[in-house]
């Protein structure tokens, strides 16, 4: 009787364990606003400047003849007005600069925007239903001739990850000049509806934080952390993004430096640490799965090297945030990448996480789940087609404004892919290139995702067991 009871308890315990593991790995999806599905297409925004009635929101930028500088060269004061259907126009003072690394050289500029009051103090404002904040970006898709890479990737990531920047398509007028189709985007920052970090307690050195791996030259608060000092992210570095405002102190910066370094070191102890899975106490494992999957599916070459964000609430775990898919899906300006191969396997954290067989097993299980549902080939194809159909005549207006994008006689090293034959000559070809690459990329990953197990095999990293 006793042995039978023991056996039953073992079965029940095993069932509970398996169920809990499955629930952890499966997780739940997050609600996400998809503008092309939920925006009222009967909306008509009238622009008095010309006889255009668009179903999209309109952003009017009045620079008051003040040139807009590039990042690091200051900010220009201008007026920003958002129009949406019959709603009352919303006007704010904005401090603006041209954003982007290579994209700042494009004919079609992108902008970073900080909303302020008359005294120059930051003022949080909700734009087009997105959460209130003072910090925004106006991304002008240009090298991305399909116009939809960032929109699609952010929204898909937002369904599966704790946070991905919210986005809305708009049409932009700068000083009464039509500038085309833009994507109004949240920036990666602390705030309600953005990254929900707790504010540090008064007189406490411990703090939640956001850090960024990116080019060192443009950093304001560089950290000489574990990753930087051991050249794990070279030639990039690590920058402190929060707290850098009124919550900043040297003691809190030191806490972030030590905390982020401790977590990084715990990951880089794989595979020779006595407790190589200790890292699971410090990172949101499923978010790391999803970051890998969405960036690999979109063949985002920059992920893990540039524009790579992580945050940790002081009571939570280190979590990655997606950003910048402009170069994804074989749209990297200087070099072509085909549908085969992995990128993140050689980049920060993943070069070690993939040495843990349990991590690889969970990653593959999560990939299979997402490909059967949110990231299936059929849904990806439908998502592209529906987004293009939603944008409709806004695409025509944009491509009339930027007709030179398809004119290879105007080819130069700043506004086109290299070499010249990689460039498409019309919009339909741009969408088809993106769609076919994405679908073929998914097929390749389906066939080869299991090869990630090789990275966890002892024969691959046995030489690293000696410190």
pLDDT, one tens digit per residue, over 340-395 is: 999 999 999 999 999 999 999 999 999 999 999 999 999 999 999 999 999 999 99
Between 138 and 13, the more confident residue is 138
Instruction: Report pLDDT digits (tens) over 410-459.
Output: 999 999 999 999 999 999 999 999 999 999 999 999 999 999 999 998 87
Q: Are 385 and 301 in contact (CB under 8 A)?
A: no
Give me the residue spans of the domains in the chain: 35-186
Query: And the tokens for 240?
Result: 């402190």
Mean pLDDT of 284-304: 97
Instruction: Sort strands 111-116 and 135-139 into parallel, antiparallel or unpaired.
Output: antiparallel
Q: Are 149 and 325 in contact (CB under 8 A)?
A: yes
Give the Cα separation of 40 and 37 in Å (integer).
9
Angstrom distances, CA of residue 420 to CA of 64, 335, 369, 408: 38, 11, 39, 7
Give the Cα separation of 428 and 146 in Å (integer).
8
Question: Residue 210, Cβ neighbours under 10 Å: how many?
Answer: 23
Q: How confident is the model at residue 86 (pLDDT cuts 50, 70, 90)?
A: confident
The 3-state secondary structure of the chain, one letter per residue: CHHHHHHHHHHHHHHHHHHHHHHHHHCCCCCCCCHHHHCCCCCCEEECCCCEEECCCEEEEECCCCCCCECCCCCEEEEEEEECCCCCCEEEEEEEEECCCHHHHCCCCCEEEEEECCCCCECCECCCCCCCECEEEEECCCCCCCCCHHHHHHHHHHHHCCCCCCEEEEEEEECCEEEEEEEEEECCCECCCCECCCCCCCCCCCCCEEEEEEEHHHCCCEECCHHHHCCCCCCEEEEEEECCCCCCCHHHHHHHHHHHHHHHHHHHCCCCCCCHHHHHHCECHHHHHHHHHHHHHCCCCCCCCCCEEEEECCCCCEEEECCCCCCCCCCCCCCCCCCCCCCHHHCCCHHHHCCCHHHHHHHHHHHHHHHCCCCCHHHHHHHHHHHHHHHCHHHHHHHHHCHHHHCHHHCCCCCCCCCHHHCCCCHHHHHHHHHHHHHHHHHHHHHHHHHHHHHHCHHHHHHHHCC
- pLDDT of res. 383: 98
Instruction: Report pLDDT digits (tens) over 242-275.
Output: 999 889 999 999 999 999 999 999 999 887 765 6
- pLDDT of res. 218: 85
The pLDDT of residue 466 is above 80: no
Give the Cα separation of 292 and 272 in Å (integer).
23
Q: How confident is the model at residue 9 (pLDDT cuts 50, 70, 90)?
A: very low
φ, ψ (nearest 5 deg) of residue 151: -55, -50
Cis peptide bond prior to 271, omega within 30° of 0: yes
- Of the chain, the percentage scoring pLDDT greater than 70 comes to 91
- pLDDT of res. 10: 47
The pLDDT of residue 464 is above 90: no
Q: How confident is the model at residue 96 (pLDDT cuts 50, 70, 90)?
A: very high
Instruction: Report pLDDT digits (tens) over 205-239.
Output: 999 999 999 999 889 999 999 999 999 999 999 99
- The size of the chain, in residues, is 467
Residue 43 gets the label, from left (phi > 0), alpha (psi -120 to 50) or beta, of beta
Question: Residue 443, Cβ neighbours under 10 Å: how many?
Answer: 12
Instruction: Report pLDDT digits (tens) over 315-343.
Output: 999 999 999 999 999 999 999 999 999 99
Give the Cα separation of 260 and 210 in Å (integer).
10
- Of the chain, the percentage scoring pLDDT greater than 90 comes to 80
What angle do the packed helices 377-391 and 149-160 form, to 10 degrees? 130
Question: Residue 433, Cβ neighbours under 10 Å: how many?
Answer: 18
- pLDDT of res. 274: 52
Question: Residue 259, Cβ neighbours under 10 Å: how many?
Answer: 20
Among 57, 184, 188, 159, smallest CA distance to 380 is for: 159
- pLDDT of res. 23: 38
Taking the CA of residue 94 as centre, how many other CA atoms within 13 Å lie in the half-sphere pointing to its CB?
29
pTM of the model: 0.91
């Amino acid at each position: 009787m006793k042995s039978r009871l023991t056996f039953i308890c073992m079965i029940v315990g095993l069932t509970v364990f398996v169920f809990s593991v499955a629930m952890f790995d499966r997780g739940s999806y997050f609600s996400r606003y998809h503008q092309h599905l939920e925006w009222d297409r009967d909306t008509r925004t009238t622009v008095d400047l010309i006889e255009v009635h668009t179903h999209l929101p309109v952003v009017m930028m009045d620079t008051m003849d003040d040139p807009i500088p590039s990042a690091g060269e200051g900010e220009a004061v201008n007026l920003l007005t958002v129009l949406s259907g019959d709603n009352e126009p919303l006007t704010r003072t904005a401090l603006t600069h041209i954003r982007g690394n290579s994209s700042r050289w494009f004919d079609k500029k992108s902008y970073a925007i900080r909303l302020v009051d008359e005294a120059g103090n930051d003022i949080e404002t909700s734009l087009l239903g997105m959460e209130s904040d003072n910090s925004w970006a106006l991304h002008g898709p240009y090298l991305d001739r399909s116009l939809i890479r960032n929109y699609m990737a952010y929204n898909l990531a937002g369904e599966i990850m704790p946070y991905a920047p919210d986005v809305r398509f708009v049409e932009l007028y700068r000083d009464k000049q039509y500038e085309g189709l833009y994507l109004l985007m949240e920036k990666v920052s602390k705030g309600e509806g953005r990254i929900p970090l707790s504010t540090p307690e008064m007189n406490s050195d411990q703090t939640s934080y956001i850090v960024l791996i990116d080019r060192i030259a443009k950093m304001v608060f560089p950290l000489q952390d574990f990753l930087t000092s051991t050249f794990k992210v070279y030639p990039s570095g690590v920058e402190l993004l929060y707290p850098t405002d009124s919550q900043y102190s040297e003691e809190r910066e030191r806490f972030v430096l030590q905390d982020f370094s401790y977590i990084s070191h715990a990951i880089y102890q794989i595979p020779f640490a006595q407790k190589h899975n200790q890292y699971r106490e410090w990172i949101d494992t499923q978010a790391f799965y999803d970051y890998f999957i969405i960036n690999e599916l979109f063949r985002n070459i920059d992920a893990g090297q540039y524009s790579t964000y992580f945050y940790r609430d002081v009571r939570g775990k280190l979590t990655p945030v997606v950003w910048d898919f402009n170069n994804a899906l074989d749209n990297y300006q200087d070099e072509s990448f085909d549908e085969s191969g992995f990128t993140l396997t050689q980049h920060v954290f993943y070069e070690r996480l993939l040495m843990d067989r349990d991590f690889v097993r969970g990653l593959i299980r999560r990939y299979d789940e997402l490909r059967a549902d949110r990231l299936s080939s059929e849904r990806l194809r439908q998502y592209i087609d529906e987004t293009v159909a939603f944008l409709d005549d806004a695409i025509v207006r944009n491509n009339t404004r930027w007709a030179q994008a398809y004119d290879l006689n105007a080819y130069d090293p700043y506004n086109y892919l290299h070499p010249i034959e990689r460039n498409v000559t019309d919009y339909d070809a741009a969408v088809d290139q993106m769609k076919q690459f994405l679908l073929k990329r998914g097929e390749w990953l389906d066939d080869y995702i299991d090869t990630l197990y090789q990275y966890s095999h002892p024969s691959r990293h046995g030489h690293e067991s000696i410190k």
